[in-house]
Every structure is written in structure tokens, then in C-alpha cells.
Amino acid sequence: MKRIQTIIALLLLTTCTAFAQSAEFNDQQLRLRRNISNWLRNEGFQPEIDSDGDIKFKREGTTYYVEVSKKDTSPMYVSLSCYYRYNDDFPKWKIVDAMPSLSLWKAVKVAIYNENYAISYQTYLPTTDPEAFTSIFYKILGVMDGVADEIGEL
């Protein structure tokens, strides 16, 4: 009996958490997020919504996040990001030293954080139709890969 109660409690908690995350988005933002997620699924990715409400998917071993801003509504702000951790072979100072040359990439930016760094692309979309994002998706991934490769060669 306790097992059933625990399962029901977990299901309710999951449902409430998902509802609370969704409640932070307006209808247009939810529609855009759903449209992008559906497009990714149709492209063969396996997108899922993470605990922050971002679309999370993997490509060639790298995890990417598509974030629809909860603050911007018309136009809507969307970013595509991937994060990399520092390690002994690749310390933070290498990224810091390389920032001037990494800034030459016009379509994406590199951000430095305490535990990791991110390569990201941001854009504004005027509607819930994700075509402005999806039409350049693979080009942007290519640019992000190029930046990641350049960082890997430091």
C-alpha cells in the first residue's frame, strides 16, 4: 500500500512540476516550444523538456538546449546552446586567453562560467512558426561545431 501511495505521490509531484514550469510560459511561447520540439523530433532527434523548461536533445554525443525566453513575447527570443566542462587537460584559462579570437565568430558567442563554458546562438522570432529558426538550424550547428573545434585545438 505504501508503495502505491509513493508512486501516486511521485506522479502528482511530476505533474505539478510540469504544470508549474508550463505556467511560466504564455500560450505563444508554449506553442513555439512545442513546434520546435516537434520539428526536432521529425528531424530524428529525441527532444525532451528539461527541469528548466528548455528543449534538450543530443547530437553526436553533445547535449544541446533550445531555450524559449519566458520574458520576451513579441518577438520571442530563442537560443540554442551547448555546454562544455573544464578539465585538467582543458582549463578555464585557455578559454579566457582565446576569447579575442573566439569573438571573431559572428553567428555564435562563447560565454565563460565558473564550472563550464557555453557556445550559443540567439535570435528573435516574430511568430510561433519556428521556420526562421529551423531554416538555419543545421548551419548554426555547423558554426557551433567550428567554434568547438577551434577551442579543442587551443
The verdict on whether omega for the bond into residue 75 sits within 30 degrees of 0, i.e. cis, is yes
Cα separation, 68 vs 77, in Å, equals 6
Q: What does the pLDDT look like over 77-123, one tens digit per residue?
A: 999 999 998 887 778 888 888 888 887 767 888 988 998 999 999 99
Q: What does the pLDDT look like over 129-141, one tens digit per residue?
A: 888 889 999 999 9
| Helices marked H in the chain | 2-23, 27-42, 92-102, 131-134, 137-152
State the average pLDDT for the chain.
82
Most confidently predicted of 12-21, 49-58, 86-95, 119-128: 49-58
Please tell me the predicted confidence (pLDDT) of residue 128.
81
| Helices marked H in 24-130 | 27-42, 92-102
Cα separation, 104 vs 150, in Å, equals 12
Q: Place 17 in a pLDDT band, splitting at 50, 70 and 90.
A: very low
Q: Place 153 in a pLDDT band, splitting at 50, 70 and 90.
A: confident
The mean pLDDT of 12-24, rounded to a whole number, is: 48
- Residue 123 in contact with residue 78, Cβ under 8 Å? yes
- Class of 26-152 in CATH: alpha beta
- Residue 42 in contact with residue 73, Cβ under 8 Å? no
- % of the chain beyond a pLDDT of 70: 84
Report the SS3 class of residue 146.
Answer: helix
